Every structure is written in structure tokens, then in C-alpha cells.
Structure 1
Amino acid sequence: MIATPTVIPKQAILQLKKTLDNFKLNDAIELCSNEAQTRKFLIEPFFFLLNYVSNDLIPEYNADFGDRISQKIDYAVVLNKKDTILIEAKKHNSRLTDKEAGQLNGYFNNTKNSKIAILTNGISYRFYSDVLEPNVIDGKPFFCFNLSSYTDRDIETLIKFDKRFIKIKEIVETAQEAVFIQDFEDTLFKELVVPSKDLLKIIHRNMNFKTKFNEETQLKMISLINSSLLKNIYDKKVLAEANSNSLGIITTDLEIQAYHTIRTLIIQNKKIDKERIKFKDFKSFFNISIDDNSKKTICKLDFNNSKMKLSIDNTDYVLDHIDDLMKYKDKLVTRTLALIE
């Protein structure tokens, strides 16, 4: 039987966002001059925000190293007397790197029922698991949260670690998905930067224009795989996806260009997560919204007639040229912020 994913109330997410926004980070940092103070004024309050209490945070947790010298990790959270989250603390101004996460490996490998480990300096929190190899921490975190800079999507992920909602199995599944996607992106990127002969051979075999697959052809193909080509392919992919989902609706290059322009203008505000800006084409207009939610429309574009028209919150603006969109940056940002807050 497939377990039903935990449903987290929207109100809980909004409350966490409000609490984080009100957290006086700079005041807390000023109180920290060493690791102990970092724990007291930054790390412990962070977990209190996630509804843990003092008794949940076990300090100087003993990692079982068998016959070796006993070593203690800064904190552990033991859930249901079984699942253990390990927490390694650093001073607030320490630079966290994936290499430092290696220090967690010994604890992680020797702590029963540990599937999640956190490396933190009180400001940045790096969440690790053992997706690639059992009992060995992955080289990169599957989630990072920074108290000084976070998005709504970050909060939606962080709330899953709230004591009231946390399900280790679900989090590990999320980690597996994140690691797979990142590994896929990294591998694809490497192939595109330095195309392998196998990739070139597949592309060449499927081309209509037939030539010999010799060194000259390979070098020519490699020279063509550049950022300009990939941008063109991306735009074609967006158009293909839009048109495949909308019978009888043709998304034009001009509409896609307008979408990219508006999206670029909007995300200059750091409070706005670029991943949440979506579009959907309709027969009579082109809609740009938050999370593809029709109730959270940022603006509408009407390029179907001889004149181009931009509509923001039921107010229409005539465009003489696509570049005229830049005149309405402030209105677009204001509208977007109103929809996400």
C-alpha cells in the first residue's frame, strides 16, 4: 500500500514564513562571538521555530564508534525514539563547504537509524542524506536553507522538517528525487559542454542531411553546440510544450519573448522566485501567473490584433513595441508581490 503524503496546512506555512520574517537575525548575530553562542542564539532558536523544544535537541550526542574512541556530535534530534537527525554546528561566520560535511560521515555511519544530517553555522543550514551510497553522506546537500535569504519554495520545503509534520521516509524520497535531478542536470551539462562521440553519433544518425561521420563533421557539430543554439532549442521546446497542451492555440515567438522579458523584470526583486512565474496561452490572450494559478494572474497579453496590449490588474496598456514592457516594471513587480504575500 502506498502511503498518503503528509498534507501540511497552508496556514502552517504562512505562519512559519511570518515567524522567519520577524526573526531578528542581525541582532542574534551580534550576540555570537563563538560556537557556543552561535548554538544558543541562532541554532537552537531556529529549531524552536520548527516547534522543537529544548528536550528534543540532545547536545553532545554520543555517536557509537564501537571499539574506537567515543566521539560526540553537537546535537541530535531523536524522533519517535527511533529516527535520528544529526546536527553539526559551526561558528556563525564559518564558511560551510561540502568538504566540511565529510566530518559528519563518521557520526552518520555509526549512528543507528540516521538518514538525515545537517551542517550549519546558524545562518545557513545544509541538509544531507545517503542517497548515492548507504550510510555514506552524499557529496552535496539535497536542500539548503539560509536565514538571510530564502524564497517561498524554501519555506515550503523547510516546513516538512517541522516537528508536527516531519516524516523521515518522505524526506528521504524527496532527497532521492533532488539528487537524481541534480545528477541528471550535471551529466547533461557536461555532455553539452564537451559533447561525447556517442552523443554526436546519435545526433548525426538522426539528421536528414547525410554526411560522413568523420573528424571534420564531429568538430563542426561540436562548434554548433553553443549557448546561442541551446537558447533557440529552449524556445522551441517551450513552444512545443505549450502547443501540445492547447488544441488550436498557437503560441507565437513574440509572446514567448514578452514572457521572458516580463519574467526577467519581475525576478530582479529577490523576494520573487523565478520558478513560480508561469505562462499559459489561451485563444484570446496570453496569461502570466504565479504557480500557473488563474487566480494569481500577474498580467495578460493580447497580441492577437494589430495592436499589442498589456493588462495588469484590469488596467490595459497599449504597446508600440515589445521593449515598451520595461516601462511597466514597477507595476508588474508590485502586482507580483501582492500575489505572493
Structure 2
Amino acid sequence: TNHSSQLFRYFGASTAKFGILTNGIIYRFYTDLDEPNKMDETPFLEIDLLDLRDQQIQELKKFCKNNFNLNEIIDTASDLKFLGLIRNVIKDIFSNPSDDYVRFILGCGVYNGVKTQNIVDRFKPLVKKSMSSYINELVNEKIQTALKTGEEQEKSAENQNVDKSPETYDNEADKIVTTDAEMEAFYIVKSILRNHIDISLISYKDTQSYFSILFDNKVTKWICRLVLKDSVMYMIIQGENREYNRYPLETIDDLYNYSELLIKKAKMFCE
């Protein structure tokens, strides 16, 4: 583009080690890894403020005045660049696996016959479906492990009845900030349950990982857990077989779409 060409010229005419190209939302960070004093065509770091990831935040912090270390950034820039390129390749494979990739998968003990184009076309949707299924399983496994760990910690804290000083409680509370979005979600859930159970028994507990809506103020009787971040929002309800089911939320009002699930779960604690 014209802007990248202009930055390329500025970079070569200056002693700067980094160039940043932005439209106010997407920030692309460049340096001269390929050839000294010549800006690379590919950025070593790209950040989208509408889709900001934790790892990117850590890299961005390195550019803060108090943390700035030129050598450290240069040392990690090469890895970041190739990590980004590899990530894009993997993303393309998952969204639309190439014929060569499908042949590679088939050659890993999946299909011993000749990999003709018809065979590749036949297996391509299966390869794509298998990859998607595996990623979903992996994500759900991580979520369930994290939630179970949090639940065990809550049970342990509840049962141990540890005598803590007021200062200890203050320090723990300082790390947790209950947001307006979480309180709005709490009141929406209460309104959903209003005509079905005694809502005076509905309370909440905020943690650093999630926001729990409780029955009878017991952490072991949670109706749902909510993760309401700028980058992702979802609700988790434990199923009848103690599995953790995740439900996406585009907006907080989407909680109304799951009214039947919330009512059913809350009524279970009344039986």
C-alpha cells in the first residue's frame, strides 16, 4: 500500500529500529530482521485492538517507556514474526485444508491406496471436520479442567474455615473487580428466575476467573458461571452428568435465549 511504501522509505532514511503502521485499530510493528537498515516487508507483530490477546499485551508492554529494552525486543522479534506466519498457515489449513495437506494426512496411516484427486476431494471435508472436532474437544477439556480446579479450591476454602486477618481479605478483594456487565447479567438471571423460584436465594460470587451465580449462597450450588470479557463472552452450566456446557454470548441480553436452561438448573436445587 501507499502507507507501507511511505513507511519503508522513512525507515531507510532514519536510524530508527522499529516502524509502526496503524489505522487506529490495527497496529503493525516492523523492524529490519531480513536485511540491516531495510524494513522487512512482513511485520513481526500485528495487534488488533478489537481482538486483543493476552500474549500480545505482554509483547506490547515491552514498548512502554519504563520497560523498553531494545535488545530484548530485537531478540524476540524474529520468533514473533515466524510465530505469526506459522499461525496464519495453520489458520488457513483449518479453514480450508489444501490438497497437499489432505494427502499428507491420508499418508499417515489413514488411507493406503492411491491418493487420486477424487480421493482427496472425498476426504477433505472429513479432515476439516476432524480438526475442528479435535480443537473443540481440546478447548472444552481445558475449560473443564480450569473450572474443576476452581471448584475444588472453592470447596476447600469453604470447608477449611481458615481464620484470616482482615488485611488478607482486603488484599484478595483488591484483585477482584465486579464489573457493571457482571451485575447486569446477575439481574437478568434473577429476572428470568423470578416466577419460578424464591429469588431471595439467588446470590453471586465473583472470582478472578469467572462470575458465579449461586443458589442459597453456596459455591457448590452454582446455577451458572459467566465469563464476560471484551474479547469473549460465554456462560457455563453444568449438565446432568457433571459435564461443563459452554454457551456463547454476543451480548449480555443473550442470556434470555437460555432462559429454559437457567430455570431448569435452578429448579434442580429446589428439589
TM-score of the superposed pair, with normalisation by structure 1: 0.40
Relative to its length, the structure with more helix (as a share) is 2
